């Protein structure tokens, strides 16, 4: 991608962000005759929240989005279904639940109680104005209905509830709204885990752009610092390096974590002129991003059950010190890559605040990560002592300054999360459009295909006006 040669240029459409939404928007515009577009990307790479790890031993896994969700209705999956270059694993194999005290937990012991807690929330209180956290819902259920359930089954159900809420939303269950957490829970069709990595899908999409578009019209390290829409005709988009792009339309795909910034001193602050309408700014201020992190443990050989798809480690205690986590304080899901792609590796899913703690580690990083996870991995090990990993990798979504999280979650006390979607869909100016995974409704929200669909939606909106 080439650097700018002048400080001023004119375009039909400026797209901010080179993630899936931005790429898809440019593709659909080009296919319908609008090739005078340009994509401005703040970071030094294409992909946004897509990032594929490839290790020296041939392990391929994603540190960001990993699945084709909604496989029955997912337009990207249906598009690449027979593409031999895109490889995936049907993620519907046997799972194992366990804890610090039990090597195997049968799901019947907590499944019905877990479902009853959700139903209790729908019947009592969650429909009212008061909003409980998911942790608060469990406490309320325990106080009012707990006497009907044996303590061991009840505690397992609470542990399963915590795991479901935290590793679905990427944050601690105290932060998550019980009122909205379970709306749209689940997907249409089985999940397909990418074994060729989402990079392979992204490259296929980029291949649909006009020739030389990637080299000439995707500008990396081009953070947008200001958007001026005072003129009733043209919009001016200014990058941090001083280049001004004058356009008819701008499509904004930056994460809400950046859009909602209100401190001009923040290095990623985006200035609007005139300022965003109060209702729009207020809606953005209510959005919160979790951080669903990944930790990859690569071993010399497999020493766990090869045919188990996922290992669900239930937490047995609450965090005692947020600044110094201990083993078993957070629920963890381990993906078994021995089964998934015949590689002796386990990939752990983590949540806030654990994800941020792991990202902050510098000195003795691998030693500290192994201290936290070794007791959990030892519980599923067939050998003693548990072999140490030869490599450990972890994601860094919270600390990436242009992203600062993975996806939005329904925060307790912040109201209906669909409200911001309505604002993004309608926008406040026909020349300024918003796309991204969090700008769509239903189970596609927060997913790669949701981002793809939003990019297509905004391209069609612009095309309808150009006609």
Average pLDDT over residues 192-214: 97
CATH 3.50.50.60 residue window(s) in the chain: 8-49+199-289+409-466
Phi first, then psi, for residue 452 (nearest 5°) are -60, -45
pLDDT digits (tens, 9 = 90+) for 253-282: 999 999 999 999 999 999 999 999 999 999
DSSP 129: S
Give the number of other Cβ atoms within 10 Å of residue 56's Cβ: 8
How remote is the C-alpha of 208 from its chain's centroid? Answer: 25
Q: To the nearest whole number, what is the mean pLDDT of the chain?
A: 95
The CATH code that applies to domain 8-49+199-289+409-466 is 3.50.50.60
Residues with Cβ < 8 Å from 217, sequence gap 6 or more? 26, 37, 38, 39
How would you classify the pairing of strands 391-394 and 224-228?
unpaired
Q: Which residues pair with 236 in a beta bridge?
A: 228, 246
Per-residue burial over 183-219, b = 16 or more CB atoms within 10 Å of its CB, e = otherwise: eeeebeeebbbbbbbbbbbbbebbeebeeebbeebbb
pLDDT digits (tens, 9 = 90+) for 432-466: 999 999 999 999 999 999 999 999 999 999 999 99
Nearest to 300 by CA among 377, 390, 430, 361: 390
10 Å CB burial of residue 307 (0-12, 13-18, 19+) is exposed
**Which strands make up the sheet holding 88-90, listed edge to edge?**
67-68, 192-194, 88-90
Residue 15: predicted pLDDT = 98
Q: What CA–CA distance (Å, rounded) separates 467 from 461?
A: 10
Give the number of other Cβ atoms within 10 Å of residue 454's Cβ: 30
Q: Give me Rg for the CA atoms of the chain.
A: 23
Check whether the bond before 347 is cis (ω within 30° of 0): no
Helix axes 20-31, 198-206, angle to 10 degrees: 30
- HSE toward the beta carbon, residue 372, CA cutoff 13 A: 24
- For residue 115, give Cα distances in angstroms to 79, 84, 311, 317: 35, 40, 21, 22
Long-range contacts of 420-426 (CB under 8 A, 24+ apart): 420/256, 420/283, 420/284, 420/286, 420/287, 421/445, 423/279, 423/280, 423/283
Q: What CA–CA distance (Å, rounded) separates 44 from 222?
A: 9
CATH 3.90.660.10 residue window(s) in the chain: 52-94+189-197+291-394
**What is the DSSP annotation of 37-79?**
EEEE-SSSSS-TT--EEE-TT--EEESS--EE-STTT-HHHHH
Residue 3 has pLDDT above 60, yes or no: no
Residue 131: predicted pLDDT = 86
Check whether the bond before 303 is cis (ω within 30° of 0): no
pLDDT digits (tens, 9 = 90+) for 59-91: 999 999 999 999 999 999 999 999 999 999 999
Q: What CA–CA distance (Å, rounded) separates 163 from 316?
A: 11
Q: H or E element: which one contains 133?
A: none
Residue 121: predicted pLDDT = 84
pLDDT digits (tens, 9 = 90+) for 160-182: 999 999 999 999 999 999 989 88
Residue 127: predicted pLDDT = 56
pLDDT digits (tens, 9 = 90+) for 295-331: 999 999 999 999 999 999 999 899 999 899 999 999 9
Check whether the bond before 274 is cis (ω within 30° of 0): yes
State the pLDDT confidence band at 125, using cuts at 50, 70 and 90.
low
Check whether the bond before 218 is cis (ω within 30° of 0): no
Cβ atoms of 437 and 451 within 8 Å: the answer is yes
- For residue 184, give Cα distances in angstroms to 181, 267, 271, 382: 8, 35, 34, 38
Q: Which two tokens stand for residue 405?
A: 């999280």
Q: What CA–CA distance (Å, rounded) separates 15 from 462?
A: 12
CATH class of 52-94+189-197+291-394: alpha beta
Cβ atoms of 245 and 223 within 8 Å: the answer is no
pLDDT digits (tens, 9 = 90+) for 236-256: 999 999 999 999 999 999 999
């Amino acid at each position: 991608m080439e650097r700018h040669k002048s400080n001023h240029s004119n375009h039909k459409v400026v797209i901010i962000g080179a993630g899936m939404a931005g790429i898809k928007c440019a593709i659909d515009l080009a296919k319908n005759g609008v090739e005078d577009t340009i994509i401005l990307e703040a970071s030094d790479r294409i992909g946004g929240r897509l990032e594929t790890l490839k290790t020296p031993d041939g392990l391929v896994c994603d540190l960001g989005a990993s699945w084709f969700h909604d496989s029955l209705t997912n337009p990207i999956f249906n598009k690449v279904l027979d593409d031999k270059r895109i490889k995936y694993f049907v993620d519907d194999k046997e799972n194992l639940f366990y804890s610090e005290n039990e090597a195997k937990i049968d799901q019947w012991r907590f499944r019905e109680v877990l479902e009853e807690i959700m139903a209790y929330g729908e019947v009592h209180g969650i429909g009212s104005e008061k909003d409980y956290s998911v942790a608060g819902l469990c406490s309320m259920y325990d106080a009012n209905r707990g006497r009907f359930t044996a303590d061991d089954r009840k505690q397992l159900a609470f542990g399963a509830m915590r795991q479901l809420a935290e590793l679905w939303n990427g944050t601690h269950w105290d932060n998550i709204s019980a009122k909205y957490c379970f709306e749209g829970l689940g997907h249409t069709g089985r999940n397909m885990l990418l074994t060729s990595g989402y990079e392979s899908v992204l490259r296929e999409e980029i291949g649909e752009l006009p020739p030389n578009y990637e080299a000439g019209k995707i500008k990396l390290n081009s953070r947008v610092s200001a958007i001026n829409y005072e003129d009733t005709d043209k919009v001016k988009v200014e990058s941090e390096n001083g280049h001004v792009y004058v356009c008819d339309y701008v499509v904004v795909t930056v994460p809400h974590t950046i859009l909602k910034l209100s401190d001009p001193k923040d290095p990623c602050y985006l200035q609007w002129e005139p300022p965003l309408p109060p209702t729009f700014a207020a809606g953005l201020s209510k959005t919160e991003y979790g951080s669903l992190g990944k930790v990859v443990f690569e071993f010399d050989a497999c020493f766990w059950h090869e045919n188990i798809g996922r290992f669900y480690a239930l937490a047995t205690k609450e965090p005692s010190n947020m600044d110094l986590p201990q083993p078993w304080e957070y629920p963890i899901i381990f993906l078994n890559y021995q089964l998934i792609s015949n590689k002796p590796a386990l990939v752990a899913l983590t949540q806030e605040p654990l994800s941020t703690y792991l990202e902050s580690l510098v000195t003795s990083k691998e030693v500290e990560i192994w201290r936290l996870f070794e007791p959990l991995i030892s519980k599923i090990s067939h050998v003693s002592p548990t072999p140490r990993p030869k490599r450990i990798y972890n994601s860094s979504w919270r600390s990436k300054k242009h992203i600062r999280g993975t996806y939005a979650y329904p925060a307790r006390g912040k109201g209906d999360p669909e409200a911001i979607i309505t604002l993004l869909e309608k926008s406040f100016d026909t020349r300024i459009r918003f796309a991204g995974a969090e700008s769509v409704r239903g189970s596609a929200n927060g997913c790669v295909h949701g981002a793809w669909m939003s990019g297509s939606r905004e391209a069609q909106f612009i095309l309808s006006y150009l006609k």
